[in-house]
Structure 1
């Protein structure tokens, strides 16, 4: 496509029989969806020359990074994907080095990812990356070395330590930018003016430019009396920038398709007959349809026809489709591939026979604690599936889940979902546009930082509501606790103060958790304590991970030592302090009397 990123690449090695390669470099430019979502990548790695497996270490770093990076989920952003890959690769290299005699899987590493009009540079060690823009020659990396006794030792590198500290640089790209990758072996040979002159002699032949750089480096090293037997150069030029909005030339929704018009029962679209209109809002249309060819029932979701000019929401609609496409969990609804080319823009999802969670609990008021806990565990796994994809849901409430005829919970609503690194302002704006609920975390009302712990609060509030749902207890608690959104009876919330009424940080002090055991005495104390922690008005006091809440929901397991809160830990410490004091007094009395 004309909007795709286009690069030119050149390389040159200098080696000798006495000293083999200890460096490795490569550039990979995928195509199609992978190029649009992951960009192109140029990398270089260099291992210490005293390393017996230097070449293997450098090759492993380059090949391992390229293979793993281009296999990461496309809904991860570049920084998160590359960082995850580098840390995993670092852990493997570090652990395997103990099995190698006379060497290790340690190498300096620099990787530049070019996506649309942005560059993302990741660096650890002493490899070098320069940018040549016109006559401006700039070094983008800094050396991670320590000088001891006249020798330079790497202070940071891939595989050197169990943890890896990575330099990250984001830089805007321009057409014609040239990036040079090389190793520390060329230090003291070429000056910035040499680079500019030798590359500019014939910038159309990048292999030739790399050969000129290598030849001049060898010549200068010889004149200065030291060897230059392990040099490598890689040049990458941006011939054409990728579009910052890859769908701009094809319309916001892509492929030139428009949203379908209003559909009613009995209408047909691309071989799908509308059986029921499930939702018709100002943003979206949801229909239950039947495939005329196979008879299969499906959900058809399309943007509202009135939103054809509101590209911001349409882009989010595309994001929802791509998110559902990549999720793989039995607790999350899945996308259904088209069997015929669509003529309008929409997507299809599996139709789940069942009831919304709010309707299910109304019809199962007599459900026991274990059955409700089973539903709660499934709710947690559904939200956790999004968190593993670095996505926050922001809209956890009863109508976001369906319970099928077998008691299986399925997440069906993704209208508030956004990437974890979207930014608080944009995330909160999206959540408010879709609509906050009685289960929303207090930070949404106070414009605080939102993230996975915000979902944790909403999920814990929903579990509290699920466990406490009861016709019998409704009359006495309704006025004091409030009624959960989407229910007409029996749904209790853990705080008297509605989250939407909060105005300042001081208002958080008015939120006092009401133990669920007061409503449902058979709830284990450890679970009540876990819910109290997950529902802390202060985001930083909640569980670090959703899996910790899931542990508390498992029957027969007592997570009280971790979930009991700071007051419980303090009480235990004071008990032991008292015992120790008493023993000390007895010891002193025996010593004095003796």
Structure 2
């Protein structure tokens, strides 16, 4: 509850199903099902806000007057909570009695630390940037990337001398509100995640007049370029890169965020070999309002060929959707191909999921171990419930495959390479015919 001057504003619903006035049962709790379902609600916070958290054993025996009486002159909220518990006991409560009172005494002034993302109202779209131009306290050095939706420039912070990457939206997108809302969210996301495998936001706190994103500069190459330079990498090299990408994804998932756009161009490898996830324009943040990245097929946020099947058939994404994209990337690093080709992007209904046909990695790289196909095939299952539960499980399977994968054996030649199989059969049959003809001629 949020405690107001005269009323209690109920913010959440418990998961109890009432059969009658005296009989009820829990409808949802930790351990009751295979998955944890978490409710979210986004609310503005103000200094002085007071919140009451209570178990059903307590709140069913409390009323508005009793709560206000307990907190009216209480500078000690712990003492007020104990008073509420005592009041519930006096009214006959026998169940678990837990009460907690929370008061907001201060809120951060730094917008980067705020609970809600920055607003872009009042900010103008940047003008076209060019080398040696001054922009918002930065000197433009050179253009790093340009597309129809955004421009990326290397700059120098005039105050610190540090190299900073500035990303600006295209002026042609001034009318695309959803895109611009996601755009300003990118830097906010970066400031909330602390991982060596996630691109950091620049440290500047100067006020802004334009819409742009300021991030750290990483000198290196994209994973796409690395894949071009290493068309058939060893398994150990791939595992090392995938482990780093996975750790970056875990940092997102720990914050209840989905990256939703894992692809070679969104991964940077610096000179020390460290991999960093970049481009947070498709990130979905649980609990925020709409416009923070799609989780449904009607607005797929990421690059189609790396997107999980559930997005295409009207399902919702979760951490296993990012896992699917990571597995696609792993498969592509090893083979240069996609595990389902372009079948996934053509999906339109759940029934079509059964039509997806996984191409075993050993069909393209026969020298790779048989267990690897088992690990990848599980992570690439069309149904999310059949995949590994989390990125950590996938990484563990890649590094130390369990018995279920170790028991796998290489498929027969007719499955691995049917053309070669029938060529071999034809060759053997041809030799047999020649031998028989020779024996017949010798007999005559």
The total of aligned residue pairs comes to 366
Q: 2:383 pairs with 534, 538, 541, which one?
A: 538
Secondary structure of residue in 2 paired with 1:278: strand
Q: 1:302 to 1:162 in 2, by over 3 A?
A: same
Q: 1:394 to 1:199 in 2, by over 3 A?
A: closer
Is the aligned partner of 1:464 residue 2:331? Answer: yes
CA distance in 1, matches of 2:275, 2:11: 40
Q: How does 1:163-312 map to 2 (within 5 A)?
A: 252-253=119-120, 256-312=122-178
Is the aligned partner of 1:120 residue 2:27? Answer: no
Q: How does 1:188-587 map to 2 (within 5 A)?
A: 252-253=119-120, 256-338=122-204, 340-365=206-231, 367-420=233-286, 426-428=294-296, 432=300, 434=301, 436-468=303-335, 491-554=336-399, 557-561=400-404
RMSD: 5.1
Shift of 1:308: 4.2
Q: 1:314 to 1:552 in 2, by over 3 A?
A: same
CA distance in 2, matches of 1:166, 1:146: 27
Shift of 1:548: 1.1
CA distance in 2, matches of 1:351, 1:399: 15
CA distance in 2, matches of 1:186, 1:511: 52
CA distance in 2, matches of 1:185, 1:509: 50
CA distance in 2, matches of 1:145, 1:124: 16
CA distance in 2, matches of 1:291, 1:170: 38
Q: How does 1:37-56 map to 2 (within 5 A)?
A: none
Unaligned runs of 5+ in 2: 45-49, 75-79, 93-98, 103-113, 412-444
Contact kept in structure 1, 2:143 and 2:154, CA below 8 Å: yes
Kindly provide the CA deviation profile for residues 413-451 of structure 1, in whole angstroms up to 9, marking residues without a partner as x: 21211025679994236853x553322222222222322
Contact kept in structure 1, 2:260 and 2:307, CA below 8 Å: yes
CA distance in 1, matches of 2:100, 2:377: 56
Kindly provide the CA deviation profile for residues 174-225 of structure 1, in whole angstroms up to 9, marking residues without a partner as x: xxxx99999979999x9x9xx78x999xx9x9669xx9xx9xx99xx9xx9x
TM-score by length of 1: 0.51
> Which residue of structure 1 lines up, in the alignment, with residue 419 of structure 2?
none
Shift of 1:506: 3.4
Contact kept in structure 2, 1:401 and 1:410, CA below 8 Å: yes
CA distance in 1, matches of 2:218, 2:134: 21
Q: 1:337 to 1:403 in 2, by over 3 A?
A: same
Shift of 1:264: 2.0
Runs of 4 or more above 6 Å deviation = 141-147, 161-173, 178-188, 233-236, 421-425, 562-565
Contact kept in structure 2, 1:122 and 1:168, CA below 8 Å: no
Contact kept in structure 1, 2:157 and 2:163, CA below 8 Å: yes
Contact kept in structure 1, 2:184 and 2:213, CA below 8 Å: no
Shift of 1:351: 0.8
CA distance in 1, matches of 2:41, 2:323: 31
Contact kept in structure 2, 1:356 and 1:400, CA below 8 Å: yes
CA distance in 2, matches of 1:294, 1:539: 47
